[in-house]
Structure 1
Amino acid sequence: MFTGIIHTSGVIEAIDRLESGARIRLRTTAEELFERGESVAVSGVCLTVLPQVDGSLLCDVSDETMSRTTLGTLGIGGRVNIERAAMVGDRLGGHLVQGHVDAVATLVSVTTAGEFSMYRWSFPGEFFELVVSKGSVAVDGVSLTIVEPEDSTFAAALIPETLRRTTLGSARVGDRMNLEFDIIAKYVRSMIAKVCGPAPTG
């Protein structure tokens, strides 16, 4: 479990294809070494740490994950957000994030006002009922607060600290990003669907 508060970034140093998936090597800004077997969120995708080589972070990624997230399109030199799993007793500064990507969103507009920015993303319409004003969403692993939701787009205001610490600060219109909706909203939708049937799309 994660919280969507990013303290560490990484750069992809190598991508080695495996028989069914890939092994990614990352160089990170973390001061402490990652432990074998621990969970990390890499741009919002929960992965398991392998034994490290020369201080690098190694993770295996399945073909399923490569195809359903942006990890499959990142190349050597690509920057990623990295978050270690939350510990019991940690502050929950963002919201509950599983690292299970629901969809890939596309950045459709950026409006800048001084050091602040308003980003708007488009997303698959089948998830529209999970997007509510002032609700939470994780974009490339970053916990954000939704504003101005529409049927298939939503916006979020990014503060200077978020722009500096995460890959969102260098994002451009047209970029694709991993999207995870709030787990509580997903459970509520599932329970309601079992009683009332699924909500219409669009």
Structure 2
Amino acid sequence: MFSGIVEEVGRVSSIRQMPKGKRLSVNASLSKLVGLGDSIAVNGACMTVVEKSDNEVFFDVSFESLNKTNLGYLRVGDYVNLERALLVGGRLDGHMVLGHVDTTAVVESLVRQGDFFLFRIKINDYIYSHSVEKGSISINGVSLTIADLKRDYLEIAVIPFTFENTNLKYIKSGDVVNIEVDIIGKYVKKFLESSQQGLTEDFLKLHGFV
């Protein structure tokens, strides 16, 4: 599990084809802090460290991850957001991010507003139905707050610190980003859909909410 607080922006140093996948090498100083088998969120996608050196970490990216995330679009020289897995008892400064990317989305526009940046991202029905305005969402592994939510797009207002310390500063209109919706929203939606009784006053009383 992750928090969506990016530790480092690494740079892709090599990409090697594998049967049904790719081996990805990322140049990053946190290579000194991880061991083989550790989990690292790469643009928000949970990856396992399969090899390391003093300044590089290596990940085997399966065909499933290549199809469901933007890791398949990466080229040598691209920048990726990196975050090590949370420690039990550690601070949760962002929100609960599993590292299981739900889908990808396309950035429609990026507008600078003073020192801040407004991203508009085109979304599908899945993202819309699992999101709420002012709720949390993970974009390329960054924990962000939805400033505005419409049926076909959402907007994110990004502070200067987050912009400068993640790969968001390299994003352009038309780029593909990884999206993980809030896990709490997933559970609530599934719970409501699976309840034949539905959300009524009697149901809430029965479960101690009223």
**Structure 1 stretch displaced more, 31-40 or 6-15:** 31-40
Number of residue-to-residue matches in the alignment = 197
1:4-83 aligned at under 5 Å gives the runs: 4-30=4-30, 32-83=32-83
Max Rg structure: 2
* Letter aligned with residue 38 of structure 2: E
Cα distance, 1:21 vs structure 2: 1.0
1:151-190 aligned at under 5 Å gives the runs: 151-190=151-190
Cα distance, 1:51 vs structure 2: 2.6
Cα distance, 1:129 vs structure 2: 1.6
Percent identity, aligned pairs only, is 38
Alpha-carbon separation, structure 2, partners of 1:55 and 1:76: 16
Cα distance, 1:31 vs structure 2: 7.0
Alpha-carbon separation, structure 2, partners of 1:181 and 1:118: 19
* Letter aligned with residue 100 of structure 2: H
In the alignment, does 2:89 pair up with 1:92? no
> 2:118 aligns to what?
118
> 1:106 aligns to what?
106
Alpha-carbon separation, structure 1, partners of 2:19 and 2:106: 30
Q: Is the 8 A contact 2:15 2:22 kept in 1?
A: yes
Alpha-carbon RMSD across the aligned residues, in angstroms, is 1.5
Alpha-carbon separation, structure 2, partners of 1:103 and 1:123: 10
Alpha-carbon separation, structure 2, partners of 1:29 and 1:81: 13
Q: Is the 8 A contact 1:49 1:59 kept in 2?
A: yes
Cα distance, 1:71 vs structure 2: 0.4
* Letter aligned with residue 24 of structure 1: L
> 2:202 aligns to what?
none
* Letter aligned with residue 9 of structure 1: V
Cα distance, 1:65 vs structure 2: 0.5
Once the two structures are superposed, residues 44-98 of structure 1 have per-residue CA deviations (whole angstroms, 9 ceiling, x without a partner) of 1000011313531011110111011110011111110000001012111100000
**Structure 1 runs not aligned, ≥5 long:** 197-202
SS at match of 2:137: strand
